[in-house]
Homo-oligomer: A and B are copies of this chain.
Amino acid sequence: MMLLGSLPQLSAFQFNIVDNMFSLTVATMGAAAIFFFAARSLVAPKYRPALMVSGLVVAIACYHYFMIRLSWQSAFGYADGSFSPTGKGFNDFYRYADWILTVPLLMVELIAVMGLAKEVARPMLTKLVIAAALMIGLGYPGEITQDWTTLMVWGMLSTLPFLYILFILWVELGKSLATQPPSVRSLVSFARLLIVATWMFYPIAYGIRGDSLPGAIPGLIPEKSGLGVVGTQIGYAIADITAKAGFGLLIFFIARAKTESMTDEERAEQMKAAAVMA
């Protein structure tokens, strides 16, 4: 929960662009959830858990963006042309609650679709989940602080597990490329790039806010201009849409390509599985 009075006054444009971005995100996540659950029947049984987990990730995000929007609307009050803080504060915790639940699931989703052997997948997943928890837990104190130095320190600490996760994914996905059918290879290497590209939004969005805090090194954003808050919220929303709905869509394409490139033996085995699990 942001401290009282920590929110700047916003212009009608600034308030509404964030409010509308939140609504757009709710709609996107909700639609993605329906699609991923329905699309399970379009892939072989062994890839269905990956689609289910994709569906869970965006369903959880849909709930949190709905609550984030309500909190945004209660945090500001309209009066003669601009929006001033009501004193109720804006609840940043929704975002961190969302990440605590969805980031580990994103790892599960990726590993599920790669079809790695259990003895490889298990320890890798454990490392990734612990790193994700550290990344999110260390980021939160910086998110709710009103002090530039505190934000920087926690931001830096949180960046270490962040880079560790990206490193592991980059290396492990790279290794697995060889074992993937040709039609899937390009999709998997695109998935690698997408993860790195979209995750880069998060530290940027995290930092932008700091630029408008008292004591910040004067940067692009004038203090209390509201651009820090607006930039952070829009940045997180774009990053979440790409990293959850966009990434889930890529997982679906990978599952689909793998289903189509199955050997006859694999196909026969999957038919048996489908017969029991239909």
Which of A's residues lie within 8 Å of B, judged by CB?
Answer: 1, 4, 12, 16, 20, 23-24, 26-28, 30-31, 34-35, 37-45, 48-49, 52, 55-56, 59-60, 63-64, 67, 78, 81, 87-88, 91, 93-94, 97-98, 100-101, 259, 262, 267, 270-272, 274-278
Contacts and interface: CB of A to CB of B under 8 A. Distances in A.
Contacts of A98: 27
26 contacts: A1-B16, A1-B20, A20-B97, A23-B97, A24-B100, A26-B63, A27-B64, A27-B97, A27-B98, A34-B55, A35-B52, A35-B56, A37-B38, A38-B40, A41-B278, A45-B276, A78-B88, A259-B276, A259-B277, A262-B276, A270-B276, A271-B276, A274-B278, A275-B275, A275-B278, A277-B278
For the complex of A and B, the 5 pairs showing the least CB-CB separation, nearest first, are A278-B278, A20-B93, A24-B97, A1-B16, A271-B275
Given A60-B27, A275-B278, A41 B35 contact: no
Contacts of A87: 78
A269 to B, nearest CB: 10
A248 to B, nearest CB: 13
A267 B276 contact: yes
B271 A42 contact: no
Nearest to A49: B42
A241 to B, nearest CB: 11
A54 B48 CA distance: 20
Nearest to A274: B278
Contact of A52 (B38, B55, B276): B38
A102 to B, nearest CB: 9
Contact of A59 (B34, B60, B64, B78): B34
A275 to B, nearest CB: 5
B271 A28 contact: no
A42 B48 contact: yes
Given A16-B1, A16-B93, A91-B20, A39 B27 contact: no
A75 to B, nearest CB: 13
A64 B48 CA distance: 30
A257 to B, nearest CB: 12
B41 A56 contact: no
B97 A277 contact: no
B63 A38 contact: no
Nearest to A64: B27
A277 B63 contact: no
